[in-house]
């Protein structure tokens, strides 16, 4: 098998995640889809590290995980406070900022 | 299996047979789980699907000579982050299943078309860019120190500023979450005396504690209402979120019944 | 005329001549006190206002006698340096006052006649609540005029020039609650601006050409090599434009008749002592410039001749006593312009006419004021008639002025006007003959309209309304009139006697060389002129005096009369040439601004706004739509990157 299959898998997972962000309305599920995309990218990074024979890709993947953790914390807190005031976790309901 | 995979990975860059088996076993599961994540009605199911994908990825990391990342993936991602997701899900209502009817006109079609185009583009780009690339493997980069030690050395030397920056980011994010989740008290806390006075002002039986369930009843289950001295049901004895049990007191009290 | 080397220098002032600056300072200080002091100066304001020009007059007389006690020539031109005004490299403006025969002549006229008018005003303005302000502005007028005639350079002269314009604006619009007065003041100011622009351009030209604007510097430099005649012509014409504005000469004459909206003493001051004489002064002072530019000189003559005719014709048609007098001023200033245009030797005669005119015109204006004072401020001569019995002093003094202006032999006007006619004819050639003829005809017309004025005002039957009770004016008004009447009679002798004025003025304006031979003997000419004048008087009696004066002006008259009644269409010409095209231009610009410029700007704004209104519909507020756009954008960027790489 070839190493670049990981990349194909990563691309497929990324696209599925992106489509999920576009079609799901529950904010938490949307967030999960974002996480899926991040994970797909991480897979690519790890594979690139292997291809390049350097650990930098793994380091970057590590940083991506850290940032993803921070993002999840803040994002979920935002979802919480929106839910508190609007009793809804749908991203379509938070549409006041418009024309 | 893990040991074979590890052995295969440590040997060098090209993928071995073991790795191929692992890949072809787990990749379909990962894709299926990802699709499941997108189409699942329940958010809890979606979270489970995501967990599956993450576990698969952890396995791939091991195969790709990244044991540190594999462990972090399992502990931090699947363990902490996903648990946080589930925690919030529980907090805002598990059973709020989402209607899968699309409300934005053309959104789903457009997402499908663009997603398809995007994946084709990505696949084509990978195909065109990587095909002739000979993988080197990371083992040489570890310089015999092992993966964790090598990563640690890089992290605390070349990437130390980025590392410190992410620590600051994490603290900020934690603070931000606290601020966002914090609810300001708008009125002074009621003292015990005030609560008592309020209760007394309502009058009636509210002054005394509510009757406990199961008093004079056949059962002592929590949904069995208490009976008043005249044999009628005391509705207040059952918490409002419970159905009052249909079980009526069956035993006739001889004194009362007379 | 000037010294052989053409160098013009002035001696430094000493002794009593160091007081020259006081001439300006007294009225200026008085004006400052009265205008800034407010109501607390109301009680004694008119006294201070009279004292200031009187003090100046006393100093003027002292300096005059000191001046004639000196030798002739340059020693009579005394320059007093006060301070350096603008000490910039290459641009030196000094505040210097120059006392020479020309300026002392004007000083005496301004302060002398001015003082009499001030005294007269005490009575005339007695019931006006703003009398103090009136005196303040009169003093300002006198101060500005004195600065104008005493300046030793054109820049300082310009200061006085503008000061005169300002003071005339304030005084003509003194009764600014009357819309007509406010409009007249504005008109006078605006028309004067046109002339002022001419003067300022002339000063700039002088500085650009000679690098100086002091009298001595310019008058020396005009004879220098390399001075082009075109430049001199331009300077001359621009100076003439300035003179036309201040002196109400054609084509800038239209403000003078409207200026009658001011109180009568103001009219007297404007017409006799200040303001309108400034133009004549300017041309006479700038004689050195006109000497080297014959064409500019010819322009001055033409302006003078045209204006003297126009003024006389306008004077024949008006029924407003002040407007008739104003038209006669125009006409008389025209004589003076003609005289100063005729060149070396005739300047002095122009100044002489200016002096005699100062006396008799002030006299007549004060007389007219007296008549109005006694007739409830009525100015229409058709409402007078037979006033000689009720206002005998006014009649007699006015009569002196009348005889002087038409040039009957013992009165001052005869001497000065005859000289001008004589000089015009002496010029020779076609133009000389033409100007002489015009001047003689003007004398006839003058006789006609002044006689008409006299007949309609003082003779005939009474025509005033029942509720008007004409009465003689108080003594404080009559005494100045009497003094001026005496001046009207005697000034001629004093000035002409042995050519004294001409000799006196020689250092300033050049000696009175007789030009060419007399084409007609002066005696014969005097007889002809007198005959024409008497003809005019007779015609006036024939047309006006024989029959009763109708209360309303006849309507069936010739076109010429109608034009004359409209001041020879001066206003109509201005309106049709300048005002209406200007208004149309403004309207067109406003239209262009509203539709063109604003339209373009507004259209652009509407375009941006409209497209924004459509664009903002894409801001649906749905986060998923935005995410879709982002993904599409990422796709587009990736595709284009790949294309670039592959291509």
Residue C295, both tokens: 């064409």
Please report residues of C whose CB lies closer than 8 A to that of B114: 628, 631-632, 635
C-alpha distances out from residue C131 to A94, C128, C507, Å: 80, 5, 41
C-alpha distances out from residue C311 to B173, C248, C264, C314, Å: 96, 10, 19, 5
pLDDT of residue C4: 39
Q: What is the pLDDT of residues C233-262, one digit of tens each?
A: 999 999 999 999 999 888 888 888 888 888
| Residues 6+ positions from C577 with CB-CB distance below 8 Å | none
Residue C73: which pLDDT band, with cuts at 50, 70 and 90? Answer: low
- Name the helix (H) or strand (E) containing B119: helix B107-130
Alpha-carbon span C455 to C449, nearest angstrom: 10
Alpha-carbon span C591 to C258, nearest angstrom: 33
Alpha-carbon span C590 to C584, nearest angstrom: 10
Q: Is C1 helix (H, G, I), strand (E, B) or coil?
A: coil
Q: How far is A99 from chain C (nearest CA, A)?
A: 6
Test A23 with B77 for CB contact under 8 angstroms. no
Please report residues of B whose CB lies closer than 8 A to that of A68: 77, 81
Alpha-carbon span C16 to C200, nearest angstrom: 33
Test C620 with A97 for CB contact under 8 angstroms. no
pLDDT of residue C556: 74
| CA C549, C552, C558, C561 torsion-angle sign | positive
Alpha-carbon span B93 to C217, nearest angstrom: 103
Q: What is the pLDDT of residues B43-84, one digit of tens each?
A: 889 999 999 999 999 999 999 889 999 999 999 888 889 999
Q: How far is A18 from chain C (nearest CA, A)?
A: 8
Q: Which among C106, C113, C156, C114 is positioned nearest to C138, based on CA atoms?
A: C114
Please report residues of B whose CB lies closer than 8 A to that of C631: 111, 114-115, 118
End-to-end Cα separation, chain B, in angstroms: 78
Q: What chains are in contact with B, requiring at least 3 Cβ pairs below 8 Å?
A: A, C
Q: How far is C629 from chain B (nearest CA, A)?
A: 10
Q: What are phi and psi of B174, to 5 degrees?
A: -65, -45
Identify the weakest region by mean pLDDT among A42-46, B114-118, C553-557: C553-557
Q: ipTM of this predicted complex?
A: 0.93
Test B118 with A55 for CB contact under 8 angstroms. no
Test A97 with C617 for CB contact under 8 angstroms. no
User: Could you give the dihedral angle defined by the CA atoms of residues C279, C285, C286 and C287, in that order, rounded to the nearest 10 degrees?
Assistant: 110
End-to-end Cα separation, chain C, in angstroms: 96
Q: Name the residue of chain C whose CA is nearest to B122's CA.
A: C638
Identify the weakest region by mean pLDDT among A34-43, B31-40, C16-25, C566-575: C566-575
| Residues 6+ positions from C59 with CB-CB distance below 8 Å | C19, C20, C22, C23, C26
**C18 vs C201, more confident:** C201
| Residue from B112, B116, B125 to probe the interface with C (highest C Cβ count within 10 Å) | B125
Is it the case that residue C382 has pLDDT exceeding 70? yes
Q: Is C286 helix (H, G, I), strand (E, B) or coil?
A: coil
Q: What are phi and psi of C612, to 5 degrees?
A: -65, -40
Please report residues of B whose CB lies closer than 8 A to that of C622: 104
Q: Are B214 and B226 in contact (CB under 8 A)?
A: yes
Neighbouring-strand partners of residue C88: C91
Q: What is the pLDDT of residues B3-16, one digit of tens each?
A: 444 444 444 455 68
Q: What angle do CA B151, B155, B157 make, to 5 degrees?
A: 115
Q: Are C64 and C104 in contact (CB under 8 A)?
A: yes
User: Of C622, C624, C635, which has the smallest distance from its Cβ to B114's Cβ?
Assistant: C635
Test C634 with B118 for CB contact under 8 angstroms. yes
Residue B159: which pLDDT band, with cuts at 50, 70 and 90? Answer: very high
Chain C, window 586-625: residues with a beta carbon less than 8 angstroms from a chain B beta carbon: 622, 624-625
| CA C602, C604, C605, C610 torsion-angle sign | positive
Q: What is the pLDDT of residues C410-458, one digit of tens each?
A: 888 888 888 888 888 887 778 888 888 899 999 999 999 999 999 888 8
Q: What are phi and psi of C228, to 5 degrees?
A: -80, 145
* Token pair 């029942």: residue: C466
Residue C132, both tokens: 């103090």
| CA C636, C637, C642, C644 torsion-angle sign | positive
Residue C5: which pLDDT band, with cuts at 50, 70 and 90? Answer: very low
User: Of C621, C624, C628, which has the smallest distance from its Cβ to A98's Cβ?
Assistant: C621
Test B170 with A8 for CB contact under 8 angstroms. no
User: Of B89, B154, B169, which has the smallest distance from its Cβ to A67's Cβ?
Assistant: B169
The string of DSSP letters for C207-263 reads: HHHHS--BHHHHHHHTTSTT--HHHHHHHHHHHHHHHHHHHT-TTS-HHHHHGGGS-
């Amino acid at each position: 098998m070839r190493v670049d299959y990981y990349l194909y898998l990563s691309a497929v997972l990324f696209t599925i995640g992106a489509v999920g962000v576009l079609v799901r309305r529950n904010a938490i599920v949307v967030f999960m889809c974002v996480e899926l995309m991040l994970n797909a990218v991480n897979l690519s990074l790890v594979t690139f590290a292997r291809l390049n024979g350097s650990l930098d890709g793994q380091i970057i993947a590590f940083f991506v995980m850290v940032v993803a953790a921070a993002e999840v914390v803040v994002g979920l807190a935002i979802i919480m406070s929106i839910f508190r005031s609007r009793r809804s976790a749908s991203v379509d309901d938070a549409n006041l900022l418009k024309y | 299996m893990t040991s074979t995979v590890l052995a295969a990975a440590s040997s060098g860059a090209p993928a071995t047979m073991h790795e191929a088996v692992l890949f072809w076993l787990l990749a379909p599961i990962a894709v299926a789980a990802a699709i499941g994540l997108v189409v699942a009605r329940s958010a809890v199911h979606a979270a489970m699907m995501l967990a599956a994908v993450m576990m698969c990825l952890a396995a791939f990391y091991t195969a790709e000579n990244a044991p540190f990342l594999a462990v972090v993936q399992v502990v931090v991602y699947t363990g902490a982050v996903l648990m946080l997701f589930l925690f919030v899900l529980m907090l805002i209502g598990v059973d709020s299943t989402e209607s899968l009817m699309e409300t934005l006109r053309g959104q789903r079609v457009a997402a499908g078309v663009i997603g398809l185009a995007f994946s084709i583009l990505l696949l084509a780009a990978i195909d065109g860019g990587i095909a002739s690339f000979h993988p080197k493997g990371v083992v040489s980069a570890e310089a015999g120190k092992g993966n964790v030690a090598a990563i640690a050395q890089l992290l605390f030397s070349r990437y130390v500023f980025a590392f410190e920056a992410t620590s600051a980011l994490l603290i900020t994010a934690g603070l931000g979450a606290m601020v966002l989740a914090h609810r300001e008290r708008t009125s002074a806390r009621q003292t015990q005396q005030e609560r008592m006075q309020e209760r007394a002002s309502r009058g009636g039986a509210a002054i005394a504690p509510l009757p406990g369930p199961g008093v004079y009843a056949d059962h002592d289950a929590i949904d069995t209402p208490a009976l008043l001295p005249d044999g009628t049901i005391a509705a207040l004895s059952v918490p409002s979120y419970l159905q009052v049990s249909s079980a009526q007191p069956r035993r006739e009290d001889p004194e009362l019944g007379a | 005329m000037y010294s052989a080397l053409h160098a013009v220098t002035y001696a430094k002032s000493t002794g009593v001549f160091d007081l020259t600056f006081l001439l300006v300072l007294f009225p200026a200080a008085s004006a400052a006190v009265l205008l800034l002091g407010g109501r607390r100066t109301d009680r004694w304001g008119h006294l201070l206002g009279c004292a200031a020009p009187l003090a100046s007059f006393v100093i003027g007389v002292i300096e005059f006698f000191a001046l004639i006690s000196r030798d002739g020539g340059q020693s009579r031109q005394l320059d007093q340096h006060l301070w350096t005004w603008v000490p910039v490299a290459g641009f030196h403006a000094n505040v210097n006052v120059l006392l020479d025969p020309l300026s002392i002549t004007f000083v005496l006229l301004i302060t002398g006649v001015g003082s009499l008018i001030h005294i007269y005003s005490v009575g005339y303005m007695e019931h006006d609540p703003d009398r103090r302000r009136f005196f303040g502005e009169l003093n300002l007028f006198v101060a500005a005029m004195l600065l104008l005639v005493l300046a030793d350079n054109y820049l300082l002269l310009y200061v006085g020039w503008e000061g005169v314009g300002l003071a005339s604006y304030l005084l003509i619009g003194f009764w600014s609650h009357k819309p007509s007065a406010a409009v007249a003041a504005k008109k006078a100011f605006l028309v004067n601006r046109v002339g002022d622009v001419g003067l300022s351009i002339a000063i700039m030209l002088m500085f650009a050409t000679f690098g100086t604007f002091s009298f001595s510097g310019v008058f020396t430099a005009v004879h220098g090599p390399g001075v082009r005649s075109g430049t001199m012509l331009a300077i001359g014409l621009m100076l003439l434009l300035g003179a036309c504005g201040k002196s109400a000469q054609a084509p800038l004459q239209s403000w003078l008749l409207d200026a009658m909206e001011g109180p009568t003493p103001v009219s007297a001051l404007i017409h006799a002592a200040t303001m309108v004489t400034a133009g004549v002064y300017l041309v006479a002072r700038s004689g050195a410039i006109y000497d080297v530019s014959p064409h500019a000189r010819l322009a001055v003559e033409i302006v003078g001749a045209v204006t003297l005719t126009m003024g006389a014709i306008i004077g024949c048609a008006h029924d407003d006593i002040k407007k008739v007098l104003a038209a006669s001023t125009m006409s008389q200033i025209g004589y003076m312009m003609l005289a100063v245009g005729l060149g070396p030797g005739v300047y002095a005669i122009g100044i002489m006419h200016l002096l005699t005119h100062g006396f008799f015109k002030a006299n007549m204006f004060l007389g007219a004021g007296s008549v109005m004072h006694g007739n409830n401020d009525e100015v229409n001569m058709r409402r007078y008639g037979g006033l000689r019995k009720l206002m005998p002093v006014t009649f007699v003094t006015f009569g002196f002025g009348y005889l002087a202006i038409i040039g009957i032999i013992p009165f001052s006007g005869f001497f000065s006007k005859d000289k001008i006619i004589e000089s015009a004819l002496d010029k020779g050639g076609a133009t000389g003959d033409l100007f002489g003829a015009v001047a003689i005809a003007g004398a006839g017309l003058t006789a006609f309209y002044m006689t008409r004025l006299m007949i309609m005002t003082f003779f005939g039957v009474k025509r005033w309304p029942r509720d008007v009770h004409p009465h003689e004016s108080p003594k404080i008004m009559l005494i100045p009139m009497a003094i001026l009447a005496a001046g009207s009679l005697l000034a001629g002798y004093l000035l002409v006697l042995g050519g004294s004025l001409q000799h006196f003025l020689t250092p300033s304006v050049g000696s009175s060389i007789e030009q060419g031979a007399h084409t007609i003997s002066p005696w014969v000419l005097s007889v002809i002129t007198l005959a024409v004048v008497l003809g005019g008087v007779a015609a006036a009696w024939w047309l006006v005096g024989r029959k009763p004066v109708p209360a309303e002006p006849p309507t069936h008259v010739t076109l010429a009369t109608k034009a004359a009644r409209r001041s020879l269409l001066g206003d109509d010409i201005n309106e049709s040439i300048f005002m209406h095209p200007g208004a149309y231009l403004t309207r067109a610009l406003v239209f262009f601004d509203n539709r063109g410029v604003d339209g373009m700007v507004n259209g652009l704004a509407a375009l941006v706004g409209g497209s924004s209104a459509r664009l903002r519909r894409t801001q649906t507020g749905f986060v998923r739509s935005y995410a879709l756009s982002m993904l599409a954008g990422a796709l587009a960027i990736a595709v284009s990157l790949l294309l670039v790489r592959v291509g």
